Amino acid sequence: MYAQMIKSTGEGVKSLDEMEPQERAFQERINAGGKIEPKDWMPDGYRKNLIRQIGQHAHSEIVGQLPEGNWITRAPTLERKAILLAKVQDEAGHGLYLYCAAETLGVTRDQLTRDLLSGKMKYSSIFNYPTLTWADMGAVGWLVDGAAIMNQVPLQRTSYGPYARAMVRICKEESFHQRQGYDIMMKMAKGTKAQKKMAQDALNRFWGPALMMFGPSDENSVHSAQSMAWKIKMNSNDELRQKFVDECVPQAEYLGLTVPDPDLKWNEERGHYDFTQPDWDEFFDVLRGNGPCNKERLAARNKAWDDGAWVRDGLMAHAAKKRAAKLAAE
Amino acid sequence: MTNPTQEWPLFEIFIRGQHGLSHRHVGSLHAPDAEMAIKNARDVYTRRNEGVSIWVVQASDIAASSPEEKGSLYEPANDKVYRHPTFFDIPEEVGAM
């Protein structure tokens, strides 16, 4: 998802009987649907995992601005441009809500930024793919934001209070993102032959990477089991991916576009679509830094941070000067 | 990457919604000073008409109770059920009260 491949620090899930009283009380509270708040006691592993997960999620929102920011100046109409600008601004906001949530766990904003810029912390693999045409804005909103919603809606019930509250805000805004994407796709798919071809091409390129967003199958993963016991992961990757496919196929049909999977078929018995797994070798390669845009994305973030240094410093100096003048006047 | 000099302080943000309710905590953000915190809060927390008034407080200025105090702070209220109106039975013939 926006946070892929989070390895928990726990060694498998302990039973309540194996836990010390403090940890047992903590787990029982989570089991009962209670929320954990910043000042409450929590196991180290829970804290570390959440910092990684929320941090990666925040980084994804921030880096996720780049592929779409690429088209702001070239949007086909002024209205489309204003809408895209608002959408990209929302992504910045989502990043900020999430950084705030991560900071309540004791990590600083600058530390998170440093870890993103140095490549130590990851962001979602999806943002390492290029956006080549205007139709990609449609595919990104429809599929990428659509996949994000699949994951984020259940996370509104996650056990960590600040994370859950950030998710509530994000989900409220995310539905606009998906619909604006689908709106672009409708326009293109019902447009000229060339426009429809662009829409189909965008779907072809983003389908696989969108399926990868949910991460590899985690059926037998001890890490996932621990995260699920802690309720910082609410569904298995396969479960969410299936739900996503089931929802997208009729939407693609409405557009008159073809999902690029020759083996895609409704399975009456399961009540779900059968579909082909994405190319997992490609996924791991992108995570290792070898996707089409990894270098470009990190370079853009580093440049923004470096070029903005004088603004950050200048505003701090100005604030200090004003404080001093106010003190002198008292 | 340059070495960051100094991190902007953290501000907690409170917004009053449209309908005459109290200011409510909505989240936090970093800003060099209170004035900028209000400007940034406008962009981060009120993009969809969520509020008509913003308060910002530097996070380090907030004093908070700790979870361990839960017992001593809130338990005394448990044996004072007479503070709730439903404690008193009012006969039906008296009417609404």
Tokens representing A101 are: 């949530």
The pLDDT value recorded for residue B73 is: 87
Strand, coil or helix: what is A75? coil
Strand, coil or helix: what is A208? helix
For B1, which of A90, A97, A306 is closest by C-beta distance?
Answer: A306
Residues 6+ apart with CB under 8 A from A54: A3, A98, A101, A102, A105, A163, A166
Is residue A240 within 8 Å of residue A214, measured between CB atoms?
yes
For A315, which of B27, B36, B66 is closest by C-beta distance?
Answer: B36
Closest CA to A46 of A180, A232, A191, A187: A232
Tokens representing A317 are: 């100096």
Q: How far apart are the first and last CA of chain B?
A: 69
Given an 8 Å threshold on Cβ–Cβ distance, is B4 in contact with A312?
Answer: yes
What Cα–Cα distance (Å) separates residue A213 from each residue in A145, A182, A210, B40? 10, 19, 5, 31
Instruction: Measure in Å the smallest separation between the Cα of B91 and chain A Cα atoms.
Output: 39
Question: Does the pLDDT of residue B89 top 70, yes or no?
Answer: yes
pLDDT bin (cut points 50, 70, 90) of residue B69 is confident
Contact status of A261 with chain B (Cβ, < 8 Å): no
Contact status of A166 with chain B (Cβ, < 8 Å): yes
The pLDDT value recorded for residue B8 is: 93
Closest CA to B67 of A39, A226, A293: A39
- By percentage, how much of chain A surpasses pLDDT 90? 89
- Could you tell me the domains of chain A? 16-291 (1.20.1260.10)
Domain B4-94 adopts which CATH fold?
Ubiquitin-like (UB roll) (3.10.20)
Instruction: Measure in Å the smallest separation between the Cα of A282 and chain B Cα atoms.
Output: 29
Q: What is the pLDDT of residues A75-101, one digit of tens each?
A: 999 999 999 999 999 999 999 999 999
Given an 8 Å threshold on Cβ–Cβ distance, is A86 in contact with B5?
Answer: no
Given an 8 Å threshold on Cβ–Cβ distance, is B27 in contact with A100?
Answer: yes
Q: How many CB atoms lie within 10 A of CB A330?
A: 4
Q: How many CB atoms lie within 10 A of CB B21?
A: 10
- What is the rounded distance in angstroms from the CA atom of residue B66 to the CA atom of residue A195? 59
Query: Nearest chain B Cα to A168, which residue?
Result: B26
Q: What is the ipTM of this complex?
A: 0.87
Helix (H) or strand (E) holding A168: helix A161-189
- What average pLDDT does the structure give for chain A? 94
β-partners of residue B58 are B11
Query: Nearest chain A Cα to B65, which residue?
Result: A39
For B32, which of A103, A169, A315 is closest by C-beta distance?
Answer: A315
Given an 8 Å threshold on Cβ–Cβ distance, is B47 in contact with A109?
Answer: no
